């Protein structure tokens, strides 16, 4: 069976209007701008409006991605939504997006890999296209993390923001598109980053709400050490599978969690700032939305040209990690 080359045909984003600055956070918890910036690199983040859920953010990002790919919703065969903040436990947010977009023939499912979600999503979607099962897929990374943050916990509430990024995948000319994937997981670290209540292990009760067990909890120091190690290792693995040296990387699009983690990767691979997409100062950590939003902005800023080697890499709760290498060929759908 001949395997098709698969690439990204169009990208899109949606970022809520409300901006929450470090100065705003100073009025909410015991913190300050200098402390946040020096330790994380974050200056502000976006917060979804009360009427906005993850599906709403997804639809707007998807509409932009479809327009940029010169496709209509009824041409999409598959929708994958990567998120840890779905509208509800079920139906899948992807189903709600399908209905609102009018993508009536698309198969749909959600994917939960936390901050690595978008990378897992494009890795999965590309296999359907490469093998000829489907032609066009829509992958969305979206989060409304403001809904699961404990706004009295100064160690976590400063980190996260809301947003959505989308990509349309489809066939591209041979030799271009996704060249390799490096995915991994380590469930033994699941306790380091989690929401304890709300599932079958610990159903919602008045007590779980009172004890804030429905809010995100994180062992920051341990997650930091894990992130530095696995993001670099995943990137090295993906480059090796693609037959590339680190010097051949034209742009790295890393998960936007902490500037120190990104700087570690820059040092490891000898990258200057012009070869790394960084936007966490504006948006904070948007989990699965971080990578697609940063990728879209790089495309809009003409930082990626045809033939460039682009690496998407990240890590997240689970614990999970992943990287993928593309030889860029953004072109209109055929």
pLDDT given for residue 33 in this prediction? 94
Exactly one of 95, 115, 157, 313 is catalytic; name it.
115
Exactly one of 285, 296, 309, 313 is catalytic; name it.
285
151/170 same-domain check: yes
How far apart, in whole angstroms, are the C-alpha atoms of residue 132 and residue 117?
23
Mean pLDDT by 10 residues, the chain (334 residues): 92 98 95 94 97 98 98 98 97 98 98 97 98 98 97 93 98 97 95 93 95 91 90 96 97 96 95 97 98 98 96 95 94 50
151/200 same-domain check: no
CATH classification at residue 322: 3.40.47.10
Q: Decide if 68 is inside a domain.
A: yes
49/91 same-domain check: yes
Q: Decide if 130 is inside a domain.
A: yes
How far apart, in whole angstroms, are the C-alpha atoms of residue 293 and residue 283?
10
Structurally, the chain folds into a number of domains equal to 2
Q: Decide if 333 is inside a domain.
A: no
pLDDT given for residue 145 in this prediction? 97
Structure tokens at 113: 């890999």
**Among 119, 153, 175, residue at a domain's last position:** 175
How far apart, in whole angstroms, are the C-alpha atoms of residue 149 and residue 143?
12
Q: Decide if 332 is inside a domain.
A: no
Q: Decide if 1 is inside a domain.
A: no
In the residue annotation, 95 being an active-site residue is answered as: no
123/252 same-domain check: no
**Among 111, 141, 175, residue at a domain's last position:** 175
How far apart, in whole angstroms, are the C-alpha atoms of residue 145 and residue 16?
12
pLDDT given for residue 334 in this prediction? 46
In the residue annotation, 309 being an active-site residue is answered as: no
295/249 same-domain check: yes
163/251 same-domain check: no
In the residue annotation, 115 being an active-site residue is answered as: yes
Burial of 273 (0-12, 13-18, 19+ CB in 10 A): exposed
**Among 140, 175, 210, residue at a domain's last position:** 175
pLDDT given for residue 2 in this prediction? 79
Q: Decide if 209 is inside a domain.
A: yes
52/167 same-domain check: yes
Q: Decide if 334 is inside a domain.
A: no
Domain holding 189, by residue range, is 178-327
314/253 same-domain check: yes
130/198 same-domain check: no
Q: In 3D, which of 78, 69, 89 has the Cα closest to residue 121?
A: 78
283/191 same-domain check: yes
Exactly one of 95, 255, 296, 313 is catalytic; name it.
255
Burial of 203 (0-12, 13-18, 19+ CB in 10 A): exposed
Burial of 30 (0-12, 13-18, 19+ CB in 10 A): exposed
pLDDT given for residue 331 in this prediction? 57
153/277 same-domain check: no
163/20 same-domain check: yes
């Amino acid at each position: 069976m001949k395997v098709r080359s698969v690439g990204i045909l169009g990208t899109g984003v949606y970022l809520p209007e409300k901006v929450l600055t470090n100065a705003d956070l100073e009025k909410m918890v015991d913190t300050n701008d200098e402390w946040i910036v020096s330790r994380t690199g974050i200056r502000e983040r976006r917060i979804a409006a009360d009427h906005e859920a993850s599906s709403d953010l997804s639809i707007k990002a998807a509409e932009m991605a479809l327009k940029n790919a010169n496709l209509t919703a009824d041409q999409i065969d598959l929708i994958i939504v990567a998120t840890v903040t779905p509208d509800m436990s079920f139906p899948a947010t992807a189903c709600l997006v399908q209905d609102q977009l009018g993508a009536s023939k698309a198969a749909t499912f959600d994917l939960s890999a936390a901050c690595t979600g978008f990378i897992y999503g494009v890795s999965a979607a590309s296999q359907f296209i490469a093998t000829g099962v489907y032609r066009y897929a829509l992958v969305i990374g979206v989060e409304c993390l403001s809904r699961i943050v404990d706004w009295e916990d100064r160690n976590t509430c400063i980190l996260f923001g809301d947003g959505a990024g989308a990509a349309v995948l489809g066939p591209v000319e041979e030799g271009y598109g996704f060249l390799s994937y490096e995915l991994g997981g380590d469930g033994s670290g699941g306790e380091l980053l989690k929401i304890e209540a709300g599932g079958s292990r610990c159903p919602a009760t008045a007590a779980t709400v009172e004890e804030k067990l429905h809010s995100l909890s994180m062992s920051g120091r341990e997650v930091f050490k894990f992130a530095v190690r696995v993001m670099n290792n995943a990137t090295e693995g993906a480059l090796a599978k693609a037959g590339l040296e680190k010097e051949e990387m034209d742009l790295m699009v890393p998960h936007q969690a902490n500037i120190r983690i990104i700087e570690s990767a820059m040092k490891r691979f000898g990258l200057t700032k012009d070869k790394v997409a960084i936007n966490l100062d504006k948006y904070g950590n948007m989990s699965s939305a971080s990578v697609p939003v940063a990728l879209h902005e790089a495309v809009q800023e003409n930082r990626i040209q045809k033939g460039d080697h682009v690496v998407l890499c990240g890590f997240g709760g689970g614990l999970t990690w992943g990287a993928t290498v593309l030889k860029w060929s953004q072109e209109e759908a055929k």
